Structure 1
C-alpha cells in the first residue's frame, strides 16, 4: 500500500503544476498588491508569492465523502514546501475521499496580516462554492505544517479578527475552519519555544508587543476554536515540541476537543517519510482521527 501511495506521490508535482486547476484567491485584486518580482519554483518549493491561489485536488476514489481540507505548506513564511507538505498530503487525503485545496499564500514580502487574509479567504471561497466543489460547507478543515501550521492555527483562532478581513463581499461568509490538523506547527511568537525565523518573516524585526501576543496563537484559543489534531516529535530541533504542547494545553483549558501524538523520532519537516519509526505512521493516526469525527463517512 505504501509503495503504491509513494508512486502516486512521485507524480504529484507534475499534477500540481499542470493538471490540477489553480484558482485565483483574489480575482478582484490582491489586497495591498505590489510588484515583488517573479515567483520562484525550485525543487518543489515556491517563493516570492504575490498572486495567491488554491490548487484543487479531487478525491482519487469513486465516491467523495464531502470533506474538504485546505492545506497550508510550511517553509518559515519565506517559501512553501508545495510538494512535500502540499501535493503529497493532498494525494494521501484523496485516497480517503477528501477534496483538498493547496494554498499558495503570501509570505515575508508582505508580512502580517497578508497570510491570515489569504487563509481565511480560502476557507470562505471553498465554503461559498461548496456545491461546485462537491463538499459539505460544514466540513471544511485547514491543515498545515511548520509555519503553515501556524497559519492554520491562526485561522482556527483569529477567524473573526478584523485583520483577516478586507472589505470584500466574501467577508460575509464564515472563515472559521470546522477542524484543524497541525503537523510540527509553529505556535509561539515569543519565549523559549519561538521559531525566530518564522517570527521575523511574518512580523518583521521589531514587532509591537500587541502584535506578538496576537500572533502567539496559543493565547488566542477559545471555546470557539475547532477540534484539533496535533502531531510533533521530540527530535524536532527547528520548531520545539513545546509549540504543540502549548497549543494542546490551551485547547484543553478551553474544553476544545483535541488529540495529540508526540513521537520520539522524526526531525522537522518530516512530511510523509518512511524509516522514522512510529512517527512514519502518523497518517494512520490522522485517518483514525478523521474517521472518529465522522469526517470520512459520506456527507450531506
Structure 2
C-alpha cells in the first residue's frame, strides 16, 4: 500500500441503512486551505501508513473529522492529523463517513456510528496484513467527529452493522479534540444535535447519545483537548466525559487551553504548546 495514497471503500457491496437518493458528494476548499466535504453516500477510509524506514509502533487510529454532522472538515481535522501520525510510526485512517440525513438513510441516528464501527472492524480484520497490533487500534474525532468517536467508545457492544466474525468493535483508546460529548441542553452543540437526532428528539435518544451518561468500566481510555473559551462546544463536554471515565477508574487526560476557540485542529495559534506532543507521550504510556 502506497503512503497516503490508499483509498478503501468501507463496504464491499450495499451500504447498510441506505436508501435511493440523487445526492451527490461535493468538496470545497476555502482561502485558508480548509477542505469541506458533504453529501457522502459512499463512505471510505484513506490510509496513511508509516513510510519505509520509519519505526512502526504497531498502533493505528481511525480519524473522524468534525463539521456539526453537516459537513466534514476533512483536511485540517483529518488528513493533516493522519500524515503527522504516520510520521511518528502510527498508521492512520481518515474516515469519510455519511452525514445523518433522512434523504439517504432509513435511520439517520445510527448512520455515522455504522461507518465508525465498520472502520474499526475493517482495520482490525486486516491488522496482520497492514502491520497493526489488533489491541492497539484507536479512534479520534474533532467536534461532532469527537461525538462520533465517543459514541463508538460507549456503543461498541451492540453492533449496528453485520459482524459475522464477531470482531471486537471496541477502540482501544480515543483522541477527542474539542468534542461534542452530550446531547443534553446546556452542554450540546445545537446543530450537531438537530442534524443527528432531529429538531424534536425523544428524551430516550437524548440520553442514549449523551455519551457522558453511557460510560462504563469497559469504555476505553481517552485523551481530550479543549479550549476554555470555546463558545461553539463548551469545555464542559470534555469535563463531563473525563469525570465519567474517572468515576469508572478509566485513564484519561484533558489538555486545557485558556484560549483557542473551536476548530483549531493540530495548531492552537494562541499558544506555542503542541497538544500532539502530549498525546504521543500519553499514548506511549497506556
How far apart in 1 are the matches of 2:261 and 2:157?
34
| Correspondences of 1:14-25 after superposition (within 5 Å) | 20-25=5-10
1:243 matched residue in structure 2:
237
Deviations 1:166-221 (A, max 9, x none): 33535x21100000110100011012111010000111112111111000000000
| Correspondences of 1:114-153 after superposition (within 5 Å) | 114-153=111-150
Deviations 1:30-86 (A, max 9, x none): 012232411011111110111111110111452211100000000000111110100
1:292: how far off? 2.1
1:131: how far off? 1.2
**Is residue 90 of structure 2 the alignment partner of residue 98 of structure 1?**
yes
TM-score under structure 2 length normalisation: 0.91
From 47, 51, 63, give the equivalent of 2:42.
Answer: 51
How far apart in 1 are the matches of 2:164 and 2:22?
27
| Correspondences of 1:252-263 after superposition (within 5 Å) | 252-263=246-257
How far apart in 2 are the matches of 1:166 and 1:238?
32
| Conserved? CA contact 1:36–1:50, under 8 Å | no
Query: SS of the residue aligned with 1:277?
Result: coil
5+ long unaligned stretches in structure 1 = 1-14, 294-300
- Larger mean CA deviation between 193-202 and 60-69 belongs to 60-69
Query: SS of the residue aligned with 2:274?
Result: helix
From 263, 267, 270, give the equivalent of 2:264.
Answer: 270
From 261, 277, 286, give the equivalent of 1:284.
Answer: 277
1:6 matched residue in structure 2:
none
Is the alpha carbon distance of 1:206 and 1:40 closer, same or farther for their aligned partners in structure 2, counting shifts above 3 Å? same
**Is residue 164 of structure 2 the alignment partner of residue 169 of structure 1?**
yes
| Conserved? CA contact 1:187–1:216, under 8 Å | yes
Query: SS of the residue aligned with 1:231?
Result: strand
**Is residue 105 of structure 2 the alignment partner of residue 107 of structure 1?**
no
5+ long unaligned stretches in structure 2 = 30-34
Is the alpha carbon distance of 1:25 and 1:253 closer, same or farther for their aligned partners in structure 2, counting shifts above 3 Å? same
How far apart in 2 are the matches of 1:245 and 1:83?
27
Looking at secondary structure, tell me which structure has more helix per residue: 1
How far apart in 2 are the matches of 1:210 and 1:251?
22
Deviations 1:125-147 (A, max 9, x none): 10011012110011000010000
Aligned length: 273
| Correspondences of 1:36-75 after superposition (within 5 Å) | 36-43=22-29, 44-60=35-51, 61-75=53-67
From 217, 229, 241, give the equivalent of 2:223.
Answer: 229
Q: Pairwise CA RMSD of aligned residues?
A: 1.6
| Conserved? CA contact 2:260–2:268, under 8 Å | no
How far apart in 2 are the matches of 1:36 and 1:195?
29
